[in-house]
Chains A and B, each alone.
Chain A
């Protein structure tokens, strides 16, 4: 709200403009000489045949303009517009937002509190709620994890398979959504050397078929990798260390696996705790853990 001089400036300019426009229109219709054209026969002739038509301005145009100006005056009395005058209704954008939020709360707050506290199987049994949860996924998650939750680009995990890097139980998934996750795998190139990277890569590729008894990469794996990924390659969800004992490989298992071991990886899932409320997070957990999901 402009105060002081500028408030007065806006007020004066606006009032003068509306009054001035009104005066201008009034003087056209009721001023000296009346509402008449120049007269076709006496007026100037441009370019051979262009003349001033003599018809008076129609009365409906007067009423239309007057109505617009009266509406303006009333609107500016009710709503903010005239400088620092707040308007008779004391309307503000903030007030409008608060009112619509209050109305929304009245209508939905109770139902949403119930959802946030409901058992997952109850939510999963309600097709309407699952449809709403699918919509939530589409708006908030699908951009990275894909419209079908199948992951994409060897960067964003598939959420429909058995692999859950940070744990697949409801509590772990909820924490992943609410707080986000930051996964760090350091690069081992300097430690292992080129041959060492190749040997460990090969060893890791063997792990889905069981732990090899003899392997050139075995010693190094058990020295450097085992702390996070485990001796059998089962991974450690508490650290976000993925299982190496299955065929699922987020970043890819070709040259990308060599890069993962040599240069390391950093993965980040942003936190949604500020963007989604408890009921929405609960619905997403229910949707992700429902039986037809994986």
Chain B
């Protein structure tokens, strides 16, 4: 079936009139995608460098040079905000805008507004990062930015939603492709979480108090925190997977039906799971139980997606030998499967007794953040960037080197933090022969030295790989205009 036939077959949505058809003939709005991709790469380097720096501070505490803005407490927020909101969201915004046009066969709705989102977001993260270094902090994990930034984020995010859903609204093919379900879930749920969790009473430009107090504040915060992981770091990147993997493998999603079922099961059960961050804390027992039960249910839709991804590549294994981008995506799927198995296990209350407050949590987060989010984004960029300029990747060899550095960095990181976390959990619980705590905080902290050194090494290895990628992508786009592509 030709593309023209396909476009003709996809019945026009009810609102498709003469204007929509005229707009559709205009080429895809790809310069904004190119801009967001470049920003994502820059944030990857900055955010990961901040991560390496604080890892080094845990090995050599003097590295803050007595400067408050270089202290672990401030740089750590810069690291998390830089990689999640700088790198992650820029990549998601860029790939969402790229794929939604192509799966709707129409150029972006309100391209000017898309530029507003793209630039506004970068300015927000940049100024927000500076405010974190200056010591502004709302005190909520992954929602540290103060209220002026919260309002700016909400405005930009809603505009992003208008562009995305506006594009879907005038699509020229009736069924909505599965990647758009996930990107759409990302936009709606993050807007809801961000706005509710950020409700606060300002008492100055850089200081506010949450509208919620005590245990309720904790529950709202982790409803936000866990679902930011769920709908941004998981759901959003699944949107990326569902477009770029089949596109790249040149094969249809193995079971399209399973992908849609998994979407709804995933969306429905994820939103309950937040309280597993608060096991054995001062929140009601029934809230903890429901959080744990729904976290376990979540394993099913998570693995449905993993198996769907793996089976989609199954017919294209040969490509893995020659194509580093596909290698990244397949490895990301493996880490996705690992992290989405580990998460439900850690939510079991008796496992959580050992894992809570330890570096195991940090290891779990990074097996997702490095192994899944970063790797799939790298793979996507190696595929996307040459297409954006209508050329070939500057160096496939360099991308292969990056692949091995990224794999080694992730493995070393995760192993170091598993070692550190499990030994912390076990040592904290150990009693001596008279029933006292056997190992003091001091002793356990001292025993972390080798793990922390290994973590630093892992971070450096991973960062070096990202630098190679930045160079490689830069050489790919250097001096080339953005390719003009028309909808079919």
Contacts and interface: CB of A to CB of B under 8 A. Distances in A.
B252 A51 contact: yes
A87 to B, nearest CB: 8
B10 A44 contact: yes
A68 B173 CA distance: 37
A5 interface: no
A142 interface: yes
24 contacts: A2-B284, A2-B286, A24-B265, A44-B6, A44-B10, A44-B175, A46-B105, A46-B173, A47-B99, A47-B103, A50-B103, A53-B255, A53-B256, A53-B312, A54-B255, A56-B257, A57-B261, A81-B290, A92-B285, A93-B285, A115-B434, A139-B437, A139-B441, A280-B436
Contacts of B102: 46-47
B442 A37 contact: no
Contact of B289 (A81, A108, A280): A81
A83 interface: yes
Interface stretch (A70-78, A164-172, A221-229, A238-246): A70-78
A138 B443 contact: yes
A143 B73 CA distance: 20
Contacts of A55: 254-255, 258, 311
Interface stretch (B47-55, B124-132, B224-232, B299-307): B299-307
Contact of A44 (B9, B251, B290): B9
B157 to A, nearest CB: 26
A80 interface: yes
Interface string B238-269: 00000100110011111111100100110011
B439 interface: yes
Contacts of B247: 47, 49-50
A236 interface: no
Contacts of B1: 45
A79 B434 contact: no
Given A64-B300, A75-B289, 14 more contacts: A21-B268, A45-B1, A52-B257, A53-B252, A53-B253, A76-B289, A80-B289, A93-B285, A111-B433, A112-B434, A115-B434, A132-B432, A135-B432, A138-B440
B265 A65 contact: yes
A44 B293 contact: no
For chain B, what secondary structure do more than half of its interface residues adopt (helix, strand, loop), or is it mixed?
helix
Interface string B432-468: 1111111111110000000000000000000000000
Contact of A1 (B6, B286, B433, B434): B286
Contacts of B437: 135, 139
A138 B443 CA distance: 9
A282 to B, nearest CB: 11
Nearest to A20: B268
5 cross-chain pairs, A with B, having the tightest CB-CB distances, nearest first:
A108-B435, A81-B289, A52-B256, A45-B6, A51-B252
B149 to A, nearest CB: 34
B174 interface: yes
A7 to B, nearest CB: 9
B3 interface: yes
B297 interface: yes
Given A61-B304, A138-B443, A46 B177 contact: yes
Contacts of B246: 50
A136 interface: yes
B187 interface: no
B92 interface: no
Interface of A: 1-2, 10, 14, 17, 20-21, 24-25, 28, 35-38, 40, 43-58, 61, 64-65, 68-69, 71-72, 75-76, 79-83, 91-93, 104, 107-108, 111-112, 115, 128-129, 132, 135-136, 138-139, 142, 147, 279-280
A16 B433 CA distance: 50
Given A45-B6, A92-B285, A135 B255 contact: no
Nearest to A28: B261
Contacts of A48: 3, 6, 488
Contact of A38 (B173, B251, B257, B307): B257
A68 B299 contact: yes
B280 interface: yes
A53 B311 CA distance: 10
Contacts of B299: 64, 68
B296 interface: yes
A44 B440 contact: no
A58 B247 CA distance: 23
A30 B9 CA distance: 30
> Which of B247, B280, B440 has its CB near the most chain A CB atoms (within 10 A)?
B440
A106 B304 CA distance: 48
Given A37-B256, A135-B439, A79 B289 contact: yes
B250 A129 contact: no
Contacts of A43: 175, 256
Contacts of B436: 132, 135-136, 280
Given A138-B440, A139-B440, A56 B255 contact: yes
Contact of B300 (A56, A68, A91): A68
